[in-house]
Amino acid sequence: MTLRHTAWPAPGAPGQVLGGVAIGARSGTPDADWPLQHLRAPLLSAGAASLQEVWHTDGPVASGHSDGVHWRRSADVLYGVIELHEAEGAPTSDTSPLQAASQLAYERVFSLLRAQGTPHLWRVWNYLADINGESHGLERYRQFNQGRHTAFVQAQRDTGGQVPAACALGVAAGPLSVAFLAGTTPLVPLENPRQVSAWNYPAQYGPRAPTFSRAALACPRGQEVLFVSGTASIVGHETLHAGDVAAQCVESVRNIGCVVQEANRVARSGRAFSVEGLSHRVYVRHAHDVDTVQRTLQPLLREASVVCVQADICRADLLVEIESQAIHAMPAA
List phi, psi (to 5°) of 260.
-60, -40
Cα-based torsion angle of the residue sequence 29, 34, 38, 42 in order, rounded to the nearest 10 degrees: -50
Catalytic residue (one of 53, 139, 251, 321) = 321
Strands (E), the chain: 3-8, 16-24, 36-39, 50-57, 62-66, 69-74, 77-84, 120-129, 134-135, 138-139, 165-171, 176-183, 188-190, 215-218, 223-231, 234-235, 238-239, 279-284, 306-310, 320-329
Told to judge if 251 belongs to the known catalytic residues of this protein, a careful annotator would answer: no
- Which residues, in sequence order, are CB contacts of 52 under 8 Å at separation 6+? 7, 8, 9, 20, 21, 22, 23, 29, 36
CA gap 1, 239 in Å, rounded? 41
Active-site annotation, residues: 321
